[in-house]
Amino acid sequence: MLDAAILGAVLASIVAAATTLLLASLGELVAERAGTLNLGVEGMMVVGAAVGYATAYGTGSLILGAIAAVLAGVMLSLVFAVLAVWLATNQVASGLATTILGLGIAGLIGSPFVGTRLDGAPELRIAGLTDLPVIGEMLFGQDAFVYLSLLLLAGVAYGLSRTRAGLVLRAVGENPVAAHALGHPVRGIRTLAVMFGGACAGLAGAHLSLAYTPFWASDMTAGRGWIALALVVFSAWKPLWLLAGAYLFGAVSILQLHVQGFGLGVPSQLLSALPYIATVVALVAISALKRGQGAPAGLGVPFVPDR
Amino acid sequence: MPLRIERQEHISGLRLTLVPLIAIAFTIIVGTVMFVALGHDPIRAFGIYFIEPLTDTWTLQELVVKACPLMLIGTGLAFCYRANRWNIGAEGQYVAGAVLGSWLALATHGTDAGPWVLPAMLALGVIGGALWGLIPAFLRVRFGASEILTSLMLVYVAQLGLDYLVRGPWRDPQGFNFPQSVTFDDVALMPLLLGEGRLHGGILIALVVIAAATFVLGRTLVGYSIELAGSAPRAAAFAGFDERRVTYGVFAVSGGLAGLAGMIEVTGTIGQMQPSISPGYGFTAIIAAMLGRLHPVLILVSSLVLALTYIGGEAAQITMRLPFDVTRVFQGTLLIAILAADVLVRYRVRRVEEVGHA
């Protein structure tokens, strides 16, 4: 019943769904490795989606749209950074505030565009390879966001574990007091990490509104920012596990759609709830197994230098 | 001349009460910028948003009606946040409570059930919300899973569950296929307090809850153990307070009050079940709790302020055709301003003389 073409298309859509999650969670992973828990991912993502869509619609350029989305994500992340890093406010509350504000701003920016459509980002087809059965479409028929997300993943994985900058960033997250004593600008580094998180979340939003579902709808992120946060926990703060987690969740969210399509008599709402239930189950499983191992020791603790 | 920020250990009560005022002033400034950016006269916009709703009795009643769920949920969240437990899923607990309570209304629909139905529904609302809230508490205590993320994920699950019920088993067969239940019988509806308007008895329940919470948090050992668990968990452990019991307790209270708020809203203002029963009260209540400095009586006041953003948002939607998102911008800005102002009043900027470093 499932022929190769359908299977290929399903696999390709799993990749697309996973890319949004991968981009957002990658940025959050870097922020958390530096010791800042930013619950504003959902807000930064939705602002990225709105600004990206508005810019692309106005200019006709998807690239400008994506750039604007990244900048918008960074701008909103700075609100969080000023609060949580520089004023040392409670990170949970600051992140929530960032998300609430982001949802509002995105709604304002997006409201003139409700009901419009864009031509989504084109697939970058590689002659010959895309036509391979089953895996051709999945590996070689994706849009630029997909390849960019994988490049970013490789860069983050390498940068965190193999470069001096990555070492300093991790030191800031593990033991900010010691890093400060060694002369590293803890709050500056945390700010940069939060900004990187904002950029990635903005890009994830752009992927959503420019490629994955090229239209604007209020609250179109539908909790993906929160799932991205959960994925960081699930990955035990390791970039390569993030890849596995994002694709697993991409698969859950796509397969439940296909099961809904088959109409097996299961209530559609139960299937729609699956990604959220799966997130809870994954969090519980990873917490039970690891008991918080892998979490940066300084995560969520504001750092105030003594002088 | 270098400037230095110093933390002050002793802050006067007066300075602390300034926090909400500074926050509101900051929000007004941001709001002015936003209205100008949207091409509206800010004075007229603020008039429609925040002044006009206060000028007639009908909207004043609406204000209290909208503040009622906020103060109930916000008071519950104060228990959690004082204990440093981050329940951000009150919206889901609100829905869960309303669903469990409404089950009774629908089960007794068309029978000659007596006036016991409404109190029983409210009790079920508390139970439903508390049970939904205890899930993240259990997952945290038993497995160490972050209650922040699990409580939030359960919001989506609860909303989808409600959606299933009102489109499936609970749909009114005579409802022209609209996704809504039958209208509740009179015994399942909250009595109105005044002849005209929508002010209902729920506000009296909220006032009783606030009085009780003020007493428990401020005057009892339970309140003290919650406070200590949040501010000094090690000291709390040495003092013999059971950390797990605090977690279960505060989640049960905040979930229960959110569920009660949901049930009151359905019986008091909606009168039937429908796919959406909240304009985000569960999230706005987080701001109400913060703005009210986690103190029930102040939360009562902050709930009225936040209710005003809802009413003003609706008015601005109609008269100025502003999207409702303006309200969310106001609410987000307000929370940011509270957090910042809270720090800024504790610190003072001082000029320090240059000191030579050896």
CB within 8 Å: B329 and A108: yes
Q: Is A133 part of a structural domain of the chain?
A: yes
Neighbours of A145 (CB within 10 A): 24
Query: CA B314 to CA B307: how far, in whole Å?
Result: 11
Q: Which CATH class is domain B41-321?
A: mainly alpha
Position B314 pLDDT exceeds 90: no
CB within 8 Å: A104 and B336: no
Backbone angles phi, psi at B226, to 5 degrees: -65, -50
What is the maximal distance between C-alpha atoms in chain A?
Answer: 69
Which B residues 128-157 touch A at CB under 8 Å?
139, 143-146, 148-150, 152-154, 156-157
Q: Searching chain B, which residue's CA lies closest to the CA of residue A112?
A: B323
Which A residues 256-295 touch B at CB under 8 Å?
267, 269-270, 272-273, 276-277, 279-280, 283-284, 287-288, 291-292
Position B27 pLDDT exceeds 50: yes
Q: Which of A10-14, A275-279, B6-10, B301-305 has the lowest mean pLDDT?
A: B6-10
Q: Searching chain B, which residue's CA lies closest to the CA of residue A285?
A: B143
Query: CA B83 to CA A132: how far, in whole Å?
Result: 57
Please answer whether residues A221 and A92 qualify as being in contact, where contact means their C-beta atoms are separated by less than 8 angstroms. Answer: no
Backbone angles phi, psi at B7, to 5 degrees: -85, 135
Q: What is the mean pLDDT of chain A?
A: 87
Cα of first residue to Cα of last residue in chain A, in angstroms, is: 69
- Which of B143, B156, B163 faces A287 most closely, judged by CB atoms? B143
Question: pLDDT category, A296, cuts 50, 70, 90?
Answer: confident
What per-residue confidence (pLDDT) applies to B253?
97
| DSSP for B221-266, written as a single string | HHHHHHHHHHH-HHHHHHTT--HHHHHHHHHHHHHHHHHHHHHHHI
What per-residue confidence (pLDDT) applies to A304?
83
Q: Searching chain B, which residue's CA lies closest to the CA of residue A228?
A: B149
The more confident residue out of A203 and A138 is A203
Residues with Cβ < 8 Å from A183, sequence gap 6 or more? Answer: none
Position B9 pLDDT exceeds 90: no
- The whole model's pTM is what? 0.90
What per-residue confidence (pLDDT) applies to A213?
85
Position B168 pLDDT exceeds 60: yes
What ranges do the domains of chain B cover? 41-321
Cα of first residue to Cα of last residue in chain B, in angstroms, is: 19
Domains: count for chain A: 1
The more confident residue out of A36 and B53 is A36
Q: What is the CATH number of the domain that holds A245?
A: 1.10.3470
- Which of A43, A229, A283 faces B145 most closely, judged by CB atoms? A283
Amino acid letter for position B50? F
Q: Is A275 part of a structural domain of the chain?
A: yes
Position B343 pLDDT exceeds 90: no
Position B37 pLDDT exceeds 50: yes
Q: Is A306 part of a structural domain of the chain?
A: no
What per-residue confidence (pLDDT) applies to B92?
97
Position B1 pLDDT exceeds 70: no
Question: pLDDT category, B167, cuts 50, 70, 90?
Answer: very high
Position A303 pLDDT exceeds 60: yes
What per-residue confidence (pLDDT) applies to B83?
94
Q: Searching chain B, which residue's CA lies closest to the CA of residue A103?
A: B328
B123 to A123, A251, B97, B118, B287: CA distances (angstroms): 56, 41, 9, 9, 26
Domain span holding position A175: 4-290
Question: pLDDT category, A1, cuts 50, 70, 90?
Answer: very low
Provide mean pLDDT across the span A96-100: 93
Identify which of B205, B264, B206, B263 has the alpha carbon closest to the alpha carbon of residue B72. Answer: B206
Provide mean pLDDT across the span A11-24: 91
Amino acid letter for position A99? T
User: How do residues A220-241 score in pLDDT, each as one tens digit?
Assistant: 888 899 999 999 988 889 999 9
Provide mean pLDDT across the span B306-329: 88
User: How do residues B77-95 score in pLDDT, each as one tens digit?
Assistant: 999 999 999 999 999 999 9
- Which of A97, A223, A288 faces B143 most closely, judged by CB atoms? A288
Please answer whether residues A215 and A118 qualify as being in contact, where contact means their C-beta atoms are separated by less than 8 angstroms. Answer: yes
Backbone angles phi, psi at A267, to 5 degrees: -55, 135
What per-residue confidence (pLDDT) applies to A125?
60
Which A residues 71-90 touch B at CB under 8 Å?
79, 82-83, 87-90
Q: Searching chain A, which residue's CA lies closest to the CA of residue B85?
A: A92
Residues with Cβ < 8 Å from B156, sequence gap 6 or more? Answer: A223, A273, A276, B92
Q: Is A210 part of a structural domain of the chain?
A: yes
Query: CA B323 to CA B305: how far, in whole Å?
Result: 20
Provide mean pLDDT across the span A122-146: 68
| Chain B: closest CA distance from residue A115 (Å) | 15
Question: pLDDT category, A136, cuts 50, 70, 90?
Answer: low
Provide mean pLDDT across the span A211-217: 87
Query: CA B308 to CA B138: how far, in whole Å?
Result: 36
| DSSP for A58-79, written as a single string | HHS-HHHHHHHHHHHHHHHHHH
| Chain A: closest CA distance from residue B264 (Å) | 25
HSE-up of residue B191 (Cα within 13 Å, Cβ side): 8
| Chain A: closest CA distance from residue B343 (Å) | 7
- Which of B86, B153, B163 faces A269 most closely, judged by CB atoms? B163
Ranked by mean pLDDT, which of A49-63, A276-290, B121-135 comes out on top? B121-135
Residues with Cβ < 8 Å from B354, sequence gap 6 or more? Answer: B1, B2
User: How do residues B112-160 score in pLDDT, each as one tens digit?
Assistant: 888 899 999 999 999 999 999 999 999 999 998 989 999 999 999 999 9
What residues of A are in contact with residue B139 (Cβ under 8 Å)? 280, 283-284, 287
| Chain A: closest CA distance from residue B266 (Å) | 22
CB within 8 Å: B339 and A107: no
Provide mean pLDDT across the span B299-326: 89
Amino acid letter for position B60? L
HSE-up of residue A199 (Cα within 13 Å, Cβ side): 11
Q: Is A177 part of a structural domain of the chain?
A: yes
Please answer whether residues A208 and A220 qualify as being in contact, where contact means their C-beta atoms are separated by less than 8 angstroms. Answer: yes
Query: CA B85 to CA B89: how far, in whole Å?
Result: 12
Query: For residue A250, what is the enclosing H or E element?
Result: helix A239-262
Query: CA A182 to CA A193: how far, in whole Å?
Result: 19
- Which of B139, B157, B339 faces A83 most closely, judged by CB atoms? B339
How many A/B residue pairs have CB atoms within 8 Å?
136
